[in-house]
Amino acid sequence: MIVPTLLMLAVAVAGDDPADANHNRIPAFARRYRTSCSTCHTAAPKLNVMGEAFRLNGYRFPENDALLRREESVPLGVEEWRDQWPRAIWPAELPGTVPFALRALLDAEITKDETSPAAVNLRFPEEIYLLAGATLGGGIGVFLETEWEREDGLDVKQAKVKFQDVIGLLPDRSLNLWAGMQNLYLFTFADRQIDRAGRLSFRWQTYRPADIPLVAPAGGVPTVSENVFRLRDTQPTIEANGILGGRFFYGVGVGQGTRALRDDNRRKDVYYKVRYKFGGLRLDGRPPTDADDMSSRGGQLLDRSLSIEQFGYFGAQPVVGGGDDSHRAFGVNARLLFRSLDVGVGFVWGRHENPWGTDVSGSLDYSSIFAKAELLTFPWLIGSLKVERFRAVLDDGLTSGGYLMPANESRVMPGVIALLRQNVRLVVEGELFAEHAVTEAVSQSAPNAIWIRLDLAF
Amino acid sequence: MRGRSILTAAFLLPVMWADGFAQGREVRGTVTRNGRALANVAVSVVPVDTAVPGSVDTVEIDQRELRFVPNIVAVGVGGSVMFRNSDPYLHNVYSPTGAQFTLGTYARGDTRLHRFETPGRYVVLCNVHPEMVAYVFVVSSPYHAITDSDGRFTVAGLPAGGYLVQVWLARGPPFEQIVSAAQVRNDRLRIEIGSDTGRPQ
């Protein structure tokens, strides 16, 4: 009953005249350029290769951006003032209209365990986003993401400014500076914001030591870490990045390590990320030399490429006793785009040196091997399969002392993503556990679930 | 003064008449629907008393600033359209209608030529940018035009006789009207198409 209801709702919202569907579309960037979602998205928010080039270029199309804009900007001083600097203020521009957009997520969760009947939770709405994106002229781009969640209320997830090409003498796009509350995008592959066709994230992105208590030996009191750091969370960061040779991307950043206004320790977190793309559209948005690397189908731009990404993150979080839990993580992935097929595999390893502070002395390693395959069956229909095997391993001292950290899990996430319209996405995704140590530790069945999500942007 | 004008007219008339024969007849008209001018519709004029010659014309459609320019063209059967990409982005050209074709995805500066052998209306899309659309009307006559912003058109070089005037819109079957040689000679045609013409079917 739910699926037909959601389908009917989506149809009612989006209208039924295909001629009208070409106008007044979706969020801020689409309005500015009067272009479709699929110019930049495979299934929003999942970016296609052009969308990724647009993002890396500070929310501008890689070439002739001004010519493509359908919306008149408001000049803050004419271009001739540039020649007067430093005797005058450098000119800028404002978007012609306030560049806001809304996104609403409606979720239905269906769970079933071995001991009770199926439960259906209608999370209507689950989340609502207020998004804004604009360029201010002179290579400055801004992005705002405010999220309202049923459980956590209102929060500014991202508020960042991108200074592109900060040193004019260097080659184009080779050195940019991004600052603000921002997503680190350690991997673009499977990132929850720019490469998520489905709903579910991988555990390595959401894992934090505080989630699962350390089980003490012989029925002792479990110990809970105070470290709530997650690799996927946004945080105040200053990042330098750039594209070299059109195909190599680098980024290095310094972050607060926490979303709080005041840093919670005296150490700043640091990270790096690199990516190389073989074939396909270049990272700077320029076409490849081999014309066969690019194709298109039913409104979707398709790529033929292989990308390799690697990141490292080094941080510290305060824990019980006044000390820090030094932690680090490394990851590598390979991703193949072959026309309608998007497939990749990755590995992430991390270590927390002291997650329980003075409560329990010892370290914790975790690792995740994960893979994702998405097939564009039709230009509006994606079949998706994700798998992950997550492991958390205590150091030898804790293990021999009888401590236990039941964080291991293995799961399969099959899904179907349908674009009911360019800006209306329906996701049906299952979460099936082959192993779920936390629930198994208390003799319960794994929390298998089916998620149905309706995602609207306008 | 008046005598001089009459003299001039008397001298020029035979010249114009002869020129008209050499260049062929001309059909001028206005297309309206419910009394309102229709711009950017294709008009083809098919001679009904003489054989229709084949067409070898080639027109160009540019892909510029995420648009097809122009986005409405007419060619006779056997005519061709050259599709050029002037944008710094990849574009594609394909038509899902009629005798379907796809010209692939190509970069700035490239051109692709397609010859249209079958009459009809062709919707031309870009697989990369769904907001882009062009219409190619392949008509069974080399005599055709696109109406201007006031709905007016002029088709020249026609053989003598009566004509079938067809008006092609983005949707639906073409509107057709037989016009006589006398109508063509005397007046600017006023072609009022049915209110259902060009509406979604």
- Residues near B58 by Cβ (< 8 Å), separated by ≥ 6? B75, B79, B80, B81, B82, B113
Yes or no: say if A380 and A418 are a contact pair by the CB < 8 Å rule: yes
Rounded to the nearest angstrom, the minimum Cα separation between B36 and chain A is 21
Q: Token digits for B201?
A: 């079917």
Q: Token digits for B98?
A: 């009629």
The span from the CA of B79 to the CA of B81, in Å, is 7
The phi, psi pair for A91, rounded to 5°, reads: -70, 165
What would you report as the CA-atom Rg of chain B, rounded to the nearest whole angstrom?
20
In terms of Cα–Cα distance, which of B43, B31, B40, B28 is closest to B192?
A: B31
Residue from B90, B123, B135, B201 to probe the interface with A (highest A Cβ count within 10 Å): B90
- Across B77-162, where does the E strand assignment appear? 80-85, 91-95, 101-106, 111-115, 120-125, 133-139, 144-146, 152-158
Work out the mean pLDDT of chain B and round it to a whole number.
84
ipTM value = 0.72
Residue of chain A minimizing CA distance to B107: A287
pLDDT-derived band at A8 (thresholds 50, 70, 90) equals very low
Q: Token digits for A295?
A: 């194709």
Residue at token pair 């055709």: B144
pLDDT at A22: 34
| Boundaries of domain holding A193 | 2-457
Question: Closest partner residue to A36 among B65, B88, B130, by Cβ?
Answer: B130
- Most confident option among A14-18, A85-89, A222-226: A222-226
B200 touches chain A (CB under 8 A): yes
Residue A306's DSSP bridge partners are A278, A336
Q: Is the pTM of this model over 0.80?
A: yes
In terms of Cα–Cα distance, which of A452, A342, A447 is closest to A116?
A: A447
CB pairs under 8 A between A and B: 65
Chain B residues with beta carbon closer than 8 angstroms to that of A301: 90, 105, 127-128
The span from the CA of B167 to the CA of B183, in Å, is 17
The phi, psi pair for B137, rounded to 5°, reads: -100, 115
- Do the chains contact at B106 and A291, CB–CB below 8 Å? yes
Q: Is the pLDDT of residue A216 over 60?
A: yes
| B22-52+142-201 CATH, one of 2.60.20.30, 2.60.40.10, 1.20.1250.20, 3.40.190.80 | 2.60.40.10
CB atoms within 10 A of CB A405: 24
Rounded to the nearest angstrom, the minimum Cα separation between A295 and chain B is 5
Q: Give the domain CATH number at A28.
A: 2.40.160.10
| CATH 2.60.40.420 domain span(s) along chain B | 54-140
pLDDT at B196: 66
Question: Closest partner residue to A296 among B65, B92, B108, by Cβ?
Answer: B92
B109 touches chain A (CB under 8 A): no
pLDDT-derived band at B34 (thresholds 50, 70, 90) equals confident
- Do the chains contact at A299 and B127, CB–CB below 8 Å? yes
Q: What is the pLDDT of residues A330-371, one digit of tens each?
A: 999 999 999 999 999 999 999 999 999 999 999 999 999 999
SS3 B50: coil
SS3 A84: helix
Q: H-helix or E-strand containing B19?
A: helix B2-23
- Residues near A353 by Cβ (< 8 Å), separated by ≥ 6? A325, A326, A327, A363
pLDDT at A32: 84
Chain A residues with beta carbon closer than 8 angstroms to that of B87: 64
In terms of Cα–Cα distance, which of B93, B36, B40 is closest to B62?
A: B93
Residue of chain A minimizing CA distance to B65: A68
Q: Is the pLDDT of residue B16 over 50?
A: no
Number of domains in chain A: 1
- Calculate ∠ Cα A154-A156-A158, nearest 5°: 150
CB atoms within 10 A of CB A358: 11
Chain A residues with beta carbon closer than 8 angstroms to that of B65: 64, 67-68
The CATH H-level (homologous superfamily) assignment of domain B54-140 is Cupredoxins -  blue copper proteins (2.60.40.420)
B11 touches chain A (CB under 8 A): no
Chain A, residues 59-118, CB within 8 A of chain B, namely 61-64, 67-68
SS3 B43: strand
